[in-house]
Chains A and B, each alone.
Chain A
């Protein structure tokens, strides 16, 4: 017995040391995409459920691993010459029933909040604001039917109330995910899926397409800007304004000419104020983001640009110079623009507030 006890003592010392080390390791939550920093009731609810299950799983983990280590230490054969063989137990019905029933009970306990969570968090309230989300390779388009706004990459929603996303896809499957606000949901071509978003704090939240959607899946990102109600209304009415047509001599006029002459107009819509005849409406076949208020959006190119370490202008210039280089497979071609044309375009695009 004494060696057994010694072994046990040594074991507990080891386990203690391991636990100490684990608790000392500092875990930093520094990702804008983290699921651990929920900013709304839906994500909160999921987070609570996660931690409930996490702690149960952690307890089971330590029990099982602890038992395994104890067993290995206690029963390890240290004396190869010993003739003392173990008892030949074939099983124990009582014990086996116990370790069948206990997990079943734990699971039953977890099942309750799971099922209620599924039903509570699926679908939308009837009176919540709708945003139609349309997935494209590789950017998200947002259409606000109540306001007749069409925008891309950056979604703006009011704080403290539910926004209902009615989602579909123009091509392949996509998956809209803003971890701080809600779990993810597919965008399926030919079908509509619903996702409710709600934030209880203002700010900018990061998102990502989570379903593999082809070459540039990793470059299909999203932003959600949560603003207070007044700010949202202001934003909406600004978005409803048409763009202003640059006159000759205005800043951006040259860039606008490049836009007209280089074929950009085939894919990108711009709505002007003078007459509907001069509005540029992309044909159905060529569907790029609506550029009427391009410069009002903090990010572009699938919310990938500008990155952390570059200016807006530089990123825009890089993007225009060679879109398929930035985004492999991009439907926006490399138009072989000259440096002058690019800087003109950048100048004009910056005016499209």
Chain B
């Protein structure tokens, strides 16, 4: 894939001490040992898409169950497990890693860097995420769900022979909701190990995000090319930075909360157990103190993508660049002060309800600024409605709906009626699907040439867009109505005679249309990788510096990193303005592109790159082993697993510490190797959350 056909300047590597250091950048081992941010980004992308499909299948199962009143397609246990896993998957295993894929691939390119600040740490993040996802999903094989136990020790019953409550393959996965409300998801009411897989799986995945947020922040602050001042950075870089800070400050909260749950479940602590005096509402505060910033963690990268795509296809600069940037930061900042709007019905004091309601309203202001600025960008432009642009505009329209319904939640008394109904489901799917997912697809179509050197089929792309747009609205628009008609969320069955049947059927049909549109996308992807039109260096006449290098991106990114003079540096190299302020292509632009096509592929001398390493992979492998051990810690082999996992992690830590980031090149002086070994910094990471 990317970079495979490039001049690899790191072919000759001397062997490091203990292990034979991996030297191949090709084949399976090339992927496992890579520290290249692009390859890591691609792996993130494919993994995220895989989980998107899995989460999508779970959604379809849910929709089949709800297609008619009193549905019996799934058992109650399986249904609860499916909506839990659908949400957990889509949030933690799809949108977050998909955003991470874009950030990994693009952040260094967009700031003119050769890699992220800590390449091996980056590989570590990816492998932790990957093994965390596998760990979480292994619950389908190893996990167990059992009926609830009352505080007095009486066990609930399931119908003999399974019946509608039956647990089985599907249901042996977490079934306490992605929000894990206590005490329902605690040891009494969700016995069995499935919710342990959930809590510990999220802990692992959170650690991956924490490590990468540190990495991205340092990358953005320290690795910018000359002239790339903060306010010359592309909006996507800005939004990624904001997201990294959100992760940095919200993940420790959920880490603590998940530790508390795990201790409750495994070691008998009483944090959330009402019988012992624990406070189940505290869990909600902690969860949403993370969970609401999480919403912006999911949507801001898509906003960044859209802020890149819209100007390119309007052939105009982003309207009010700094306002868009600051609005993004403001959303993130305010996002930490609104968590209790998820809890308006929980009985918190009226003062708190009013305060959080008002705080929630204020978020509409920066969000509005963004929407209006995007429209200001479109206004007077020369709009080319290519597939990425269609998705970006689709984002704009759908997200506006999600934003407006979001304001209705801030109207506290009104929210008492709406919360926990399908109205909320409609709202956040307009934000997260109509928003984030449309934005991510805009980005995929837009940056596909950077991966492959080809453009995706426009015909298939537009088919995909219109099918998805139609399916999306058929699926989620009726949910507003269903919710206001009184259909509660997370409901396995609904009674006939409530007026829910016809719209639910429409919703189910819509869901399958979305599925169809994704199939079109997959075919397009598969086909365009092989047979798409060659893209050249700058297929979209783009604005930002990642388009100054050939496609697919060479392994070393830039031979000569640009010296940035302006926001939208690349555009200004190609275009000047006439007296009216209209863009005029510089006569030398084509010549310049041709020269870049050549010079950026042919470095005059070998380029020094970080060497591949086994250690991130091995170290990440240790963590889930430890966590399996924690789940079964009462058994001997559980304790053994903890020991084995700890040894694997520690051993690879030592290996990592000894191994230099870059192997000295045979022709160069030894002291050229940059002192960039982050082994010890990494020890700290481990310690803090491991």
Stretch from A11-19, A209-217, A235-243 at the B interface: A209-217
Q: How far is the CB of B150 from chain A (nearest CB, A)?
A: 6
A325 interface contact, C-beta 8 A: yes
A251 interface contact, C-beta 8 A: no
Q: Are A100 and B369 in contact (CB under 8 A)?
A: yes
Q: How far is the CB of B637 from chain A (nearest CB, A)?
A: 31
Interchain CA distance A208-B487 in the complex, whole Å: 9
Q: Are B76 and A328 in contact (CB under 8 A)?
A: yes
Interchain CA distance A184-B420 in the complex, whole Å: 9
Q: Are B159 and A324 in contact (CB under 8 A)?
A: yes
Q: Are A86 and B381 in contact (CB under 8 A)?
A: yes
Q: Are B413 and A118 in contact (CB under 8 A)?
A: yes
Interchain CA distance A336-B411 in the complex, whole Å: 51
Name the residue of chain B whose CB is nearest to the CB of A304. Answer: B495
Name the residue of chain B whose CB is nearest to the CB of A104. Answer: B365
Q: How far is the CB of A172 from chain B (nearest CB, A)?
A: 4
Q: How far is the CB of B98 from chain A (nearest CB, A)?
A: 26
A149 interface contact, C-beta 8 A: no
Stretch from B99-107, B319-327, B466-474 at the A interface: B319-327
Give the number of residues in A that approach B within 8 Å (Cβ atoms).
Answer: 109
Q: Are B492 and A191 in contact (CB under 8 A)?
A: no
Give the number of residues in B that approach A within 8 Å (Cβ atoms).
Answer: 116
Interchain CA distance A353-B634 in the complex, whole Å: 52
From A46, A95, A171, give the contact of B417 (CB < 8 A).
A46
Q: Are A96 and B417 in contact (CB under 8 A)?
A: no
Most buried by A among B156, B158, B375, B577: B156
Q: Are A183 and B148 in contact (CB under 8 A)?
A: no
Interchain CA distance A119-B357 in the complex, whole Å: 12
From A35, A111, A185, give the contact of B486 (CB < 8 A).
A35
From A28, A121, A179, A333, give the contact of B413 (CB < 8 A).
A121
Interchain CA distance A285-B411 in the complex, whole Å: 41
A195-253 residues with Cβ-Cβ distance < 8 A to B are 206, 208-219, 221
Given contacts A49-B411, A57-B407, A99-B372, contact A91 B323 (CB under 8 A): yes
Name the residue of chain A whose CB is nearest to the CB of B151. Answer: A171
Q: How far is the CB of A50 from chain B (nearest CB, A)?
A: 5
B8 interface contact, C-beta 8 A: no
Stretch from A58-66, A150-158, A257-265 at the B interface: A58-66
Could you mark each residue 317-337 of chain B with 1 if its beta carbon is under 8 Å from any beta carbon of chain A, else 0?
101110100000000000000
Q: Are A68 and B158 in contact (CB under 8 A)?
A: no
Q: Are B320 and A96 in contact (CB under 8 A)?
A: yes
B521-544 residues with Cβ-Cβ distance < 8 A to A are none
Most buried by B among A32, A91, A322: A91
Name the residue of chain B whose CB is nearest to the CB of A303. Answer: B495
Q: Are B152 and A284 in contact (CB under 8 A)?
A: yes
Q: Are A61 and B347 in contact (CB under 8 A)?
A: no
B166-224 residues with Cβ-Cβ distance < 8 A to A are 166, 175, 177, 181, 183-184, 188-190
Stretch from A72-80, A126-134, A290-298, A340-348 at the B interface: A72-80
A186 interface contact, C-beta 8 A: yes
Given contacts A76-B383, A123-B350, contact A213 B184 (CB under 8 A): yes
Q: How far is the CB of A103 from chain B (nearest CB, A)?
A: 4
Q: Are A189 and B280 in contact (CB under 8 A)?
A: yes
B14 interface contact, C-beta 8 A: no
Q: Are A87 and B411 in contact (CB under 8 A)?
A: no
Q: Are A65 and B412 in contact (CB under 8 A)?
A: no
Q: How far is the CB of B372 from chain A (nearest CB, A)?
A: 4
Interchain CA distance A218-B382 in the complex, whole Å: 52
Q: Are A107 and B365 in contact (CB under 8 A)?
A: yes
Q: Which residues on the A side are within 8 Å of B488 (C-beta)? A: 177, 208-210, 218
From B75, B346, B407, B415, give the contact of A188 (CB < 8 A).
B346
Interchain CA distance A89-B319 in the complex, whole Å: 7
Q: Are A325 and B181 in contact (CB under 8 A)?
A: no
Could you mark each residue 374-417 of chain B with 1 if its beta carbon is under 8 Å from any beta carbon of chain A, else 0?
01101111111100000001001100110011011011111111
Given contacts A175-B420, A184-B416, A185-B345, contact A114 B156 (CB under 8 A): no
A315 interface contact, C-beta 8 A: no
Q: Which residues on the A side are within 8 Å of B382 (C-beta)? A: 75, 77, 82, 84-86
Given contacts A88-B316, A325-B163, A328-B75, contact A190 B80 (CB under 8 A): no
B77-111 residues with Cβ-Cβ distance < 8 A to A are 77, 80
Name the residue of chain B whose CB is nearest to the CB of A61. Answer: B404
Q: Are B183 and A68 in contact (CB under 8 A)?
A: no
Interchain CA distance A317-B567 in the complex, whole Å: 75
Given contacts A64-B400, A86-B314, A329-B158, contact A172 B189 (CB under 8 A): yes
A337 interface contact, C-beta 8 A: no
Name the residue of chain A whose CB is nearest to the CB of B163. Answer: A325
Q: Are B485 and A31 in contact (CB under 8 A)?
A: yes
Q: Which residues on the B side are within 8 Å of A99 (C-beta)? A: 368-369, 372
B494 interface contact, C-beta 8 A: yes
Q: How far is the CB of A284 from chain B (nearest CB, A)?
A: 7
B675 interface contact, C-beta 8 A: no
A34 interface contact, C-beta 8 A: yes
Q: How far is the CB of A208 from chain B (nearest CB, A)?
A: 5
From A50, A84, A175, A332, give the contact of B345 (CB < 8 A).
A175
Interchain CA distance A276-B184 in the complex, whole Å: 37
Given contacts A89-B581, A217-B490, contact A35 B485 (CB under 8 A): yes
Q: Are B397 and A77 in contact (CB under 8 A)?
A: no
Q: Are B412 and A114 in contact (CB under 8 A)?
A: yes
Interface of B toward A, CB cutoff 8 Å = 75-77, 80, 147-148, 150-154, 156-160, 163-166, 175, 177, 181, 183-184, 188-190, 274-275, 277, 279-281, 314-317, 319-321, 323, 345-347, 350, 353-354, 357-358, 361-362, 364-365, 368-369, 371-373, 375-376, 378-385, 393, 396-397, 400-401, 404-405, 407-408, 410-421, 481, 484-500, 575, 577, 580-585
Q: Please list the 10 inter-chain residue pairs (A to B) with the smallest Cβ-Cβ separation, ordered nearest first.
A: A183-B416, A328-B165, A33-B486, A193-B347, A189-B274, A285-B152, A85-B583, A91-B320, A325-B159, A218-B491
Q: A71-B375, A115-B357, A188-B281 are in contact. List 6 more A-B contacts (CB 8 A).
A: A100-B365, A122-B353, A183-B413, A184-B420, A217-B491, A331-B156
A-B contact pairs, 18 of them (CB 8 A): A49-B411, A64-B375, A65-B397, A96-B373, A100-B368, A104-B365, A118-B354, A177-B420, A184-B420, A188-B281, A190-B274, A209-B488, A210-B419, A210-B421, A285-B150, A287-B150, A328-B159, A329-B156
